Structure 1
């Protein structure tokens, strides 16, 4: 439906095309394109051209298997460009799972290279940052909080409250299926650890001393989060969450 490129990437070299080698393939392609166009899955017409196959030339080596060589950059592109949101909207739930072909958790070396020492300690080694000395404990801006590693949506400012603990606190996750809870016995008394589902980042803990309507307090480390302000949601591929801020 986009004749000018593909998401962030603009220009003819980024447009889609169906290449056919003979009349039989052309007939199949035309029938498939017609069926999709008539399905009303998209609000705009299908503009992908059907053209005769031409000699294929492999791109430069640094382009090959880019999603494997630079998984973190590729995942940021998928989320930030709106690609995953587009797929989820038109084709169903996007899969951020680290076990899926779409998302592979980066190596520890790559994660360490792009995170601060505190972010790495928190997310990869179950660390805890100092209270009142972290980025988001007193953040009052509207927006959502996503996993610092994978970008999966976790919490919203609409559920954030002042707990007095010195850490960002929320009454509930914005995307419950992106949260995994585990029993934590590292202290004298057992606690419930909170981790992100797809990046498996340590986020913090959840306690049953929060305000209504849930009675829960998700006590989360700022170092595990990246804040996306409401004005940037659409541009970064989180447009579906704008409805949270439309009063």
Structure 2
């Protein structure tokens, strides 16, 4: 016999096989996060570039800012008097930048006038910033590593991957991370107001590499364990699933089968 009657209960009930809408975040919840889209607070990245005394300090700080799952790796190159620093998300988790698999988030270029241009890529494509003269991090990079791998005079060493992940995990478990995510939310609000439609439309401007990454996350179900799911997305998902929550007599609808 099948009981097709839906019961509305004022509390939590566990009786017989239950089918309930509580399966965790959906793919759309994950896809709506900045981490899934590769978006990052580039104002804070710029400040980290100005404040950092070493490549490892900059790498640590950028990974504290970013809310996505992959590590942010950097590499630097020189063409004549032009110096370029790039930041990439390591989408395939191999601890090194792979142009054919990873996603570039930003670049900082120092020209012959010793001034800087910073721009975002793909989901950050709305961002362009010019700032004044200074040596900043490039001086350290040039002095510390004049001949890096594959023609770059600095590239995040693959051997640092485990250390960087451990540092990031510790940070995300601290109260400081809550402050950073609040800063990121404020940054997004400012950019939405300042850049307008360019900011809104850039979310869909994903690279081919990120599109493949998102597709893999969806088909494998790996998005369900992503750290990118924001608190607000989780709250919205829970609200939709439970129709008002467990407290205060909210209705929790279940269907019994036999």
TM-score, length-normalised on structure 2? 0.26
The TM-score with structure 1 as length reference comes to: 0.26
Higher relative contact order (CA 8 A, sep 6+): 2
